[in-house]
């Protein structure tokens, strides 16, 4: 019986897609993905809407924003949420002209469409993200 299941091409495709999602760690998990040069581009392109929190270890406001980002990741499972440590990945921060921290950048289909600089209430960030979900 197990051998019959492995001959089902539709099942094979589903299992392969799920394995890729798990391996990337970027799909609908409610988690905030730690981003770096090896997964950043895939992350922003894999999601229709992706939110990236640019932060640094010395940035106190960044730590104030972190629980807001984590909460939104749980509440908005159709959006990809990631964090990029700008100390470890200065080239990516420079590419997107991130000059102040924290900066939250919203990507739509892999392209930057909006950004919020500084710590803002969850509702403001949530509303800015929602503006890109159904357009």
48 is catalytic: no
The one-character DSSP state at 1 is: -
Q: CA 36, CA 61: separation in Å to the nearest integer? A: 21
Catalytic residue among 27, 36, 39, 59: 59
In the set 62, 69, 101, 116, the catalytic residue is: 62
Known catalytic membership, residue 59: yes
Q: Which of 25, 77, 35, 75 is nearest to 55 (CA)?
A: 35
114 C-beta neighbours (distance < 10 Å), count? 14
Catalytic residues: 59, 62
């Amino acid at each position: 019986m197990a051998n019959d299941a492995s001959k089902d091409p539709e099942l094979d495709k589903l299992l392969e897609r799920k394995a890729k999602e798990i391996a990337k760690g970027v799909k609908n998990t409610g988690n905030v993905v730690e981003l770096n040069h090896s997964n950043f581009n895939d992350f922003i392109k894999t999601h229709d809407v992706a939110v990236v929190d640019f932060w640094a270890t010395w940035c106190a406001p960044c730590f104030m924003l972190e629980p807001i980002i984590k909460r939104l990741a749980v509440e908005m499972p159709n959006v990809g949420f990631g964090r990029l440590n700008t100390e470890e990945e200065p080239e990516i921060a420079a590419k997107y002209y991130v000059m102040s921290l924290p900066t939250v950048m919203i990507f739509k289909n892999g392209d930057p469409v909006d950004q919020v600089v500084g710590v803002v209430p969850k509702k403001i960030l949530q509303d800015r993200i929602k503006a890109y979900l159904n357009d």
